Structure 1
């Protein structure tokens, strides 16, 4: 995929779907893709043109060529290689600068996530402590945020959620916001409830890997990378 800069909201929606569902896209028609996204085929064509593709089949051929280049690579390695080749990495710089401004006003960081995201919250909190800041993790979806007697005005909650739509996590984010906390989130895509509730959101745009209804095997390599980038940003000389 080419650069996604200067895309409209609709074009960005199309771009994000293609990136997250490349294997589906290479096997369906232009009209089927447009119907899935509930947009006009012309909108898809304009998006592809903006991304540097002359025709829809050019995109499909590019996906097939990418598959061929990576066919001997295991899935995790492929996902990592793809993530670090995206143009999203340079785009993080502006957001990290904003995070530094938030950190300057933060006395304590709270990491919140459920399941695998909760395990990574423990890792993130430890990294922040290693870099000299007060931080702890909460993995309980029913943690009684509203019963806290202290204000959250000078606290920042870092929320980890692949989908950004888990209802217990959404409820907790709303509670933290109502009590004055700043919200920084890391989600796979930007168009979800938690991202919209956040003061700052980081995304990584990788294909979802879901087994059954509850087992999420989407790689967390980007989350670990972002947690370490943010923890290093806390150092005064950075």
Structure 2
């Protein structure tokens, strides 16, 4: 599906529901979709217009095509193909230039994440070190940031979070901000608490894959790609 980065909160809600329920969307009418979401049909129409669709059936047609392709390849390959073909990739270029500005004023890079995101923080920190910068990772959700005697004015914190809504991560981001650090976040969507607390956010807009309510299997291919892009930018 196409994605416009300038959706309203209601439009983002509609978009996220469609992405997570594609097989249902191709079987129901626009009015039925509006009823499920408790919004006016006009809200759905405006969302489709913002996404670049002229008609609801155009959206359904594209979803059928995507689902058909998904039957041919495994899910990870499909997600990766979709990500690298999406039209929001060019938007990264401007943000990477902003990141370079942060890097010029940064003495230390701190990577912060919990769980799988924490494992990727270790990878990201090593990539930054490989490119000649001082970097380390923190995976402790209760790390006493506020007790540090050193200023964070010259530090940039790179936060990894799929949902952007984990409360321990949110709390730590607030502590980093209070200590003067710049915040760069990588999240699945840009409409979340951590993204809104960030000075710069990179989002990748793929389907959430959650099992047993707590186990997040959302692909991390975009995160690895972004970490490597940012690490390479340090040499620029």
Consecutive unaligned residues of structure 2, counting only runs of 5 or more, are none
> In structure 1, what is the Cα distance between the partners aligned to 2:95 and 2:13?
20
| 1:20/1:206 contact within 8 Å kept | no
Cα separation, partners in 2 of 1:140 and 1:59, compared to 1, 3 Å? same
Quote the offset at 1:68 in angstroms: 1.2
SS in 1 for 2:98: helix
| 2:188/2:203 contact within 8 Å kept | yes
**Cα deviation code 1:77-114 (max 9, x no counterpart):** 00100111111110100000000001111100000000
**Aligned residue in 2 for 1:181:** 181
| 1:189/1:204 contact within 8 Å kept | yes
SS in 2 for 1:121: helix
**Cα deviation code 1:42-101 (max 9, x no counterpart):** 121123234443321221121011211331100000010011111111010000000000
| 1:19/1:207 contact within 8 Å kept | yes
**Aligned residue in 2 for 1:157:** 157
Matches within 5 A, 1:121-132: 121-132=121-132
TM-score by length of 1: 0.92
SS in 2 for 1:133: coil
SS in 2 for 1:59: helix
SS in 2 for 1:152: coil
**Aligned residue in 1 for 2:146:** 146
Instruction: Indicate the RMSD between aligned Cα atoms, in angstroms.
Output: 1.9
SS in 1 for 2:89: helix
| 2:9/2:191 contact within 8 Å kept | no
2:223 aligned with 1:223: yes
| 1:141/1:169 contact within 8 Å kept | yes
2:68 aligned with 1:61: no
| 1:111/1:125 contact within 8 Å kept | yes
For these two proteins, the number of residue pairs brought into alignment is 236
Consecutive unaligned residues of structure 1, counting only runs of 5 or more, are none
**Aligned residue in 1 for 2:212:** 212
SS in 2 for 1:202: strand
SS in 2 for 1:184: strand
Quote the offset at 1:132 in angstroms: 0.5
| 1:21/1:207 contact within 8 Å kept | no
SS in 1 for 2:90: helix
SS in 1 for 2:114: coil
2:205 aligned with 1:201: no
> In structure 1, what is the Cα distance between the partners aligned to 2:13 and 2:98?
24
2:90 aligned with 1:90: yes
**Cα deviation code 1:156-210 (max 9, x no counterpart):** 1000000001010000000000000000000001111100000000000000000
| 1:4/1:15 contact within 8 Å kept | no
> In structure 2, what is the Cα distance between the partners aligned to 1:36 and 1:170?
30
